[in-house]
Chain A
């Protein structure tokens, strides 16, 4: 058999759900390099986003949050395409490595499938529900002047110039002199 050229292989792999890719990374070093390459990640993201628009592609993944238990579940889009009373199985996903039942919190932001989770004591994580990876963000350092009582809002976005994801946090500080924010 002739070898499949790498650009065709990349195109094929970009149609696979993240879960399959995490397994297939183990096929050989060349495949792992292909899958770990940021260029491939972008191609895969583009396809996944297209898959959300056209669920017949079957690559999209739905992330659900239970309103009673506050836990997250993932569900392959294609399982929703079955017409009948077939039972679809959603699997439980931890939203934080620190998570216990009482600490599960709704995400404060999301962008291209990456979710920003804010926990108590200002601990923040970026969470990729498809690879189930976490990245703990460094704590926010406030200057001396702004120490004390404050409240803040956070959000997550993609910066196309820097080609990176950015967490933006806006802090409103309590001023003890005139007792206002």
Chain B
């Protein structure tokens, strides 16, 4: 895919950046919901940036792999990170709070969306959050949460458990989620 030069010769950088802030794009979710977002926030997603640059946006950008609820969350994240004058510390705090309240199912949706839209910072944050939640959990909890059926025989499982029995000592109870 040929990329257009973002700063053609003879054009000043600043007016272009200013234009991005005032220009709005419309993102359309898989379930047909439409969201307005400033171009400067939207292009924090590398995938959207490419679409805008290739001019295949045509006003409305369809995102068939992201549902409305997830897209709304992603847009909240993008807006914060495109905000003028938001300090790094402020963004860091926002990131932490942003993911801390999410249930595992929501985290999965957001991680898939961040991967598809290529939003590195969000992807990193959500991956870390998912890992934190898995840390002291039981095998059963992980299977249930990731919708995985075991393909080990009970004997194989017992054998693996025996091999590293001490690793089962610090497991949390599964009640909290």
Q: Do residues B105 and A1 form an inter-chain contact, with CB atoms below 8 A?
A: yes
What residues of chain A lie closer than 8 Å to B161, measured between beta carbons? 26
From residue 6 to 55 of chain A, which have CB atoms closer than 8 A to chain B? 8, 11-13, 15-17, 19-20, 22-29, 31
What residues of chain B lie closer than 8 Å to A19, measured between beta carbons? 167, 170
Please report the C-alpha to C-alpha distance between residue A131 and residue B115 in the assembled complex, in whole angstroms.
Answer: 31
Q: Do residues A27 and B115 form an inter-chain contact, with CB atoms below 8 A?
A: no
What residues of chain A lie closer than 8 Å to B13, measured between beta carbons? none
What residues of chain B lie closer than 8 Å to A23, measured between beta carbons? 138-139, 164, 167-168, 171
Per DSSP, chain B at the interface is helix
B35 in contact (CB, < 8 A): no
Q: Which of B135, B139, B146 is in CB contact (< 8 Å) with A17?
A: B135
Q: Do residues B150 and A16 form an inter-chain contact, with CB atoms below 8 A?
A: no
Q: Do residues B150 and A27 form an inter-chain contact, with CB atoms below 8 A?
A: yes
What residues of chain A lie closer than 8 Å to B169, measured between beta carbons? 91
- With A4-B108, A8-B115, A11-B127 known as contacts, the answer to whether A26 contacts B135 (CB < 8 A) is no
B142 in contact (CB, < 8 A): yes
What residues of chain A lie closer than 8 Å to B167, measured between beta carbons? 19-20, 22-23
Q: Do residues B131 and A12 form an inter-chain contact, with CB atoms below 8 A?
A: yes
A138 in contact (CB, < 8 A): no
Q: Which of A4, A15, A25, A132 is in CB contact (< 8 Å) with B160?
A: A25
B147 in contact (CB, < 8 A): yes
Please name the residue on chain A nearest to B104 by beta carbon: A1
From residue 50 to 87 of chain B, which have CB atoms closer than 8 A to chain A? none
What residues of chain A lie closer than 8 Å to B166, measured between beta carbons? 91, 132
From residue 93 to 130 of chain B, which have CB atoms closer than 8 A to chain A? 105, 108, 111-112, 115, 123, 127-128, 130
What residues of chain B lie closer than 8 Å to A22, measured between beta carbons? 164, 167
Q: Do residues B131 and A16 form an inter-chain contact, with CB atoms below 8 A?
A: yes
Q: Do residues B134 and A28 form an inter-chain contact, with CB atoms below 8 A?
A: no
What residues of chain B lie closer than 8 Å to A102, measured between beta carbons? none
Q: Do residues B148 and A28 form an inter-chain contact, with CB atoms below 8 A?
A: yes
Task: Write the nearest CB–CB distance from A174 to chain B, whole angstroms.
Answer: 44
Task: Write the nearest CB–CB distance from A61 to chain B, whole angstroms.
Answer: 12
Q: Do residues A8 and B138 form an inter-chain contact, with CB atoms below 8 A?
A: no
A180 in contact (CB, < 8 A): no
Task: Write the nearest CB–CB distance from B39 to chain A, whole angstroms.
Answer: 27
Q: Do residues A15 and B164 form an inter-chain contact, with CB atoms below 8 A?
A: no
A5 in contact (CB, < 8 A): yes
Q: Do residues B111 and A8 form an inter-chain contact, with CB atoms below 8 A?
A: yes
A2 in contact (CB, < 8 A): yes
Q: Which of A5, A24, A132 is in CB contact (< 8 Å) with B139?
A: A24
11 contacts between A and B (CB under 8 A): A2-B108, A4-B108, A5-B115, A8-B127, A20-B136, A20-B137, A24-B139, A26-B161, A28-B148, A28-B150, A28-B151
| Sample of 11 further A-B pairs with CB below 8 A, known A4-B112, A16-B131 | A8-B115, A12-B130, A23-B168, A25-B160, A26-B150, A26-B152, A27-B148, A28-B149, A91-B166, A132-B164, A132-B166
List A residues at the B interface (Cβ < 8 Å).
1-2, 4-5, 8, 11-13, 15-17, 19-20, 22-29, 31, 58, 91, 131-132
List B residues at the A interface (Cβ < 8 Å).
105, 108, 111-112, 115, 123, 127-128, 130-132, 134-139, 142-143, 146-152, 157, 160-161, 164, 166-171
